Chain A
Amino acid sequence: DGGITQSPKYLFRKEGQNVTLSCEQNLNHDAMYWYRQDPGQGLRLIYYSQIVNDFQKGDIAEGYSVSREKKESFPLTVTSAQKNPTAFYLCASRYTGGRENEQFFGPGTRLTVL
């Protein structure tokens, strides 16, 4: 089955540690996205990538980094510079062949920083 996988589902880290969240898709989509979700705030865009080896900052990129070395993979690193990293993180992908295509979402990773 085609889809988006995120791992792990739950992640606990000590304050000051970097942590990397995995996102893999087998939908053959060119574009991939990372969102952060906090209660009452909806989804906010962290980073996105329209093509391999290229990515752009979203609205809240500070304290995060990404890479896009493969079409299928778009890992997100939450660095120690992120002041409030505890949140639910969602990865998405989109087919860019048409103008109007929706984003498909993974199941999410809940990060808790202790």
Chain B
Amino acid sequence: AQSVTQPDIHITVSEGASLELRCNYSYGATPYLFWYVQSPGQGLQLLLKYFSGDTLVQGIKGFEAEFKRSQSSFNLRKPSVHWSDAAEYFCAVGTGANNLFFGTGTRLTVIP
């Protein structure tokens, strides 16, 4: 069965510091992987996605993620966090049925 684990419920970083959000997945086939961001009371916006090819993918707002098959991970990174990055971040795995399975999310707080 497919599953997604985001081990960090809440992360606090200082503005300008680097960020890494962890995501581990379990899926029997080659996964389609996504990172979404959600501001409070809003819908989800796609940050980036991985399907095949280069394992380092670039997304919007300066985010990137690296797919590591050996570790079943798809961690999200940003070199310098801005106050506007404060939000909740969700990792998701897509299956052959084209449905998405989401992790429980990581809430990011940015302090000045």
Which residues of A does B touch, CB under 8 Å? 4, 6, 31, 33, 40-45, 48, 50, 58, 88, 90, 92, 94, 96, 99-100, 102-108, 110
Contacts and interface: CB of A to CB of B under 8 A. Distances in A.
B9 interface: yes
Interface of B: 9, 32, 34, 36, 41-46, 49, 51, 90, 94, 98-100, 102-105
B90 A42 contact: yes
A77 B9 CA distance: 31
Nearest to A58: B99
A102 B42 contact: no
A42 B71 CA distance: 22
A108 B46 contact: no
Nearest to B90: A42
Contact of B98 (A90, A96, A110): A96
Given A48-B99, A58-B99, A100-B51, A40 B104 contact: yes
B44 A90 contact: yes
Nearest to A9: B41
Contacts of A90: 43-44
B44 A105 contact: yes
B104 A41 contact: yes
B99 to A, nearest CB: 6
Contact of B43 (A31, A33, A50, A105): A105
A102 B34 contact: yes
